[in-house]
Amino acid sequence: MKRLAPVIALIIATFIAIYVGAAPIDNFWSSLISPGSNDILWQIRIPRVTAALIVGASLALAGLMAQGACNNALAEPSILGTTAGASLGTVLAVLTGLVQVGSVGAIACGALGALAATSLTFKLANLRSQLSSFALIIVGIAVSASITAIVGLLSSMVTRADARSISFWNFGSLALITRDNLVGISITAIVGGLIAWKISPSLDRLSLGDATAFHLGVDVPRVRLIALVALSVLAGGSVSTVGSIAFIGLAAPHIARFIYGPTHRSLIIHTAIIGALLVVVADTLSRSIAQPNELPIGLITSLLGAPVLIALVSVKNNVWTNQ
Amino acid sequence: MITINEITIVRDGREIIYDYSEQIPAGSITAIVGPNGCGKSTLLAAIAGDIAPIKGTITIDELHPILTPPAQLAQIRAVAIQNQRYTLGFTVKQIIEMAGPPEEVMRSLDLTSLADRVVTTLSGGEAQRVSIATAIAQQTPVLLLDEPLAAQDVSSRQRIIELLKKMAEGGVTVVVVAHSNESELAWADKVIKHFL
């Protein structure tokens, strides 16, 4: 039952998310089985909840890739600078007028920004030719803070409505999602998910340390690079479309490991389900708590994710030891 | 056959091994002994392909470990490092399965009763046996073990030695880093102790 709980919770949460909102939906169930019958349902609510599912799954998988590639419990897109890089890549592309937020072009720029920032973190952390967990986290925080500041400056100094606000890039929002946006984030989720699936056995071996993984036949630098590409594609697609949503990349893989164990191939699916669940619940709360106002979703995910993580550490501390 | 030809290895600016040559015959047990810091583990790591000599060559059956792709190298040599750390909660069986079939080697090293134990909860000696079992499960013609007996009790030591002897008789080339003095290494076919 424990293993099925996240799936059941996700199904229930998805229906509640579609049902709940500022405007009530008349004849909810009949409208749900008749595509196009209700504009609020089919043009706003369902695209938004679908985006929440995809973004949640993507950010969770991005976190799994970050933790697997770094063999570090604290690694996640926000801490490695990936999220900030995706924001900067997208903001720069939008400010030059080349793309719009949510377009495939913006997603590509977001993914490139994510890859560049993550690579910078790894490069700086590896200056002494020894990639320590401590250096990675400290450098990642520094890179992330610097890039976030640049994004804030750009968002404040340039008055383009379509460049979005500082709040959007820092805390995320699904409010402006349209059906057209779903294509881009679906592509990045599928591509990133398939790459993650492909390298997951190598990530199991990487958890034994670089030396042992190499002895078992893993080309460590290559696998790490592929994981970072997957991480950048997944986080880049999501962040460039809905902004930064905190804690999903950190909390979802840990929750999944606690329930399903550490094998990465199994975690690919389960982490995605838990990430989707967290974002769907957070988004529903963000637009329900202070109606008709909407709270930034990143605030809700932090409030939800932090206690869950603390509870996991206190209940079972052997899922990731020696860190 | 492992051939070491006039190698020099420098680490952190210090010459660890200088102009050293050796031949390690196939189907034998070779023990590398010596005091702390004399370069025993460095020599083993060089044979494993972990580090490159600045001069000279090492070959395993004509293959240069340092130039061989990791996947191909993993079919030729297996390594159990000293102080293997486990970070994720895999079971003993899952860890050994990453290298190859686990059942027989778990039986040989008395790990069957620990098959479902999470590796992060093992004692030092148990974790070391899992590391050795993982290397053996790789079923390679060359087996490199860094201090495999260090944390073992008497019966486990005997069990490991008997298994290594059996493997050497079956044609596997076993190279072991050990702290023991020569009189305790009667089970080794060859002892290397002067390589600096």
Domain residue limits, chain B: 2-192
A24: left (phi over 0), alpha (psi -120 to 50) or beta: beta
Query: Which pLDDT belongs to residue B129?
Result: 95
Residues of A in contact with B79 (CB under 8 A): 211-212, 215
Minimum mean pLDDT range among A194-198, B113-117, B177-181: B177-181
The amino acid at residue A275 is G
- Convert the pLDDT of each residue in B43-67 to its tens digit: 999 999 999 999 999 999 989 999 9
Report how far residue A147's alpha carbon sits from residue A80's, in angstroms, rounded to the nearest whole number.
11
Q: Which uninterrupted H or E stretch holds B151?
A: none
Minimum mean pLDDT range among A69-78, B70-79, B134-143: A69-78
The CATH classification number of B2-192 equals 3.40.50.300
Ranges of beta strands (E only) in B125-187 are 142-146, 173-178
Q: Tell me the nearest-neighbour CA distance from B131 into chain A, angstroms.
A: 9
Which residues, including other chains, have CB under 8 Å from residue A316's CB and lie 6 or more apart?
A: A258
pLDDT top residue among B196 and A108: A108
- Mean pLDDT in chain B? 92
Supply φ then ψ for residue A320, to 5 degrees: -155, 95
Are A217 and B75 within 8 A, CB to CB? yes
Query: Quick one: average pLDDT of A221-248?
Result: 92
Residues of B in contact with A257 (CB under 8 A): 88-89
- Pick from B41, B85, B86, B88 the residue to mutate for testing the A interface (most A CBs within 10 Å): B88
Residues paired with B29 in a beta bridge:
B174
pLDDT at A322 over 70: no
Closest by CA position to A96, among listed A162, A7, A11, A48: A162
What ipTM is given for this predicted complex? 0.95
Report how far residue B129's alpha carbon sits from residue A190's, in angstroms, rounded to the nearest whole number.
40
Spatial contact of B127 and B86, defined as CB atoms under 8 Å apart: yes
Percent of chain B with pLDDT over 70: 96
Residues of B in contact with A318 (CB under 8 A): 89, 118, 120-121
* DSSP states of A27-65: THHHHHTSTTS-HIIIIIIHHHHHHHHHHHHHHHHHHHH
Residues of B in contact with A201 (CB under 8 A): 98
Question: Would you call B69 exposed, middle or buried from its count of C-beta atoms within 10 A (0-12, 13-18, 19+)?
Answer: exposed
pLDDT at A320 over 70: no
Are B90 and A205 within 8 A, CB to CB? no
Are B90 and A257 within 8 A, CB to CB? no
Domain A41-166+177-315: which topology?
ABC transporter involved in vitamin B12 uptake, BtuC (1.10.3470)
- The model carries a pTM of 0.90
Q: Indicate the pLDDT class of residue A316, thresholds 50, 70 and 90.
A: low
Are A219 and B71 within 8 A, CB to CB? yes
The DSSP code for A320 is: B
Report how far residue A261's alpha carbon sits from residue A319's, in angstroms, rounded to the nearest whole number.
8
